[in-house]
Amino acid sequence: MKSASEYKCVIIDDDDNSTELLKEYLQSVPKLSLLESFSDPTAAVRAIKNNERVTFLFLDINMEISGLNIARILRDDVRFIVFVTGHPEHALNAFSVKADRYLVKPVSFQKFVKTVNQLECEMTRTNC
């Protein structure tokens, strides 16, 4: 397994409350490191395209630019796309853009950690 703060994370969400909650969750998991959070999807795309590879992208769907479109653009630039949204009706569309997980707000800390751990197991190909 990787050591502390090995997994680089980005949040794209135009809901300040959701972003703050995800930041708290990330700070509570030592192996996760927040590179940046964005409320502007266009700025996020530019930054991610110019950055080193992101491990976890936590992405909302219902924004000025659909998170589904952002996922299509960034799919090759991030290891895992985790949609975090208040809109369960978009789940099928999320997986059509190759989302790795789909979490419906409000997301508990336990569900967040379970999701990260499952994806880490897939990445490291370990039997967790």
Cis amide linkage into residue 106, ω under 30° from 0:
yes
Q: Is 126 helix (H, G, I), strand (E, B) or coil?
A: coil
Q: Mean pLDDT for the chain?
A: 93
Query: What is the pLDDT, as a whole number, of residue 47?
Result: 95
pLDDT grade for 1, boundaries at 50, 70 and 90 = very low
Extents of the domains making up the chain = 15-84+100-124
Distance CA 76, CA 105 (A): 26
End-to-end Cα, the chain, rounded Å: 11
Answer yes or no: is pLDDT of 2 > 60. no
Please write the tens of the pLDDT for every residue from 62-116. Answer: 999 999 999 999 999 999 999 999 999 999 999 899 999 999 999 999 999 999 9
Task: Output the pTM of the full model.
Answer: 0.93
Task: Select 15-84+100-124's CATH number: 3.30.420.10, 3.40.50.10800, 3.40.50.2300, 2.40.37.20.
Answer: 3.40.50.2300
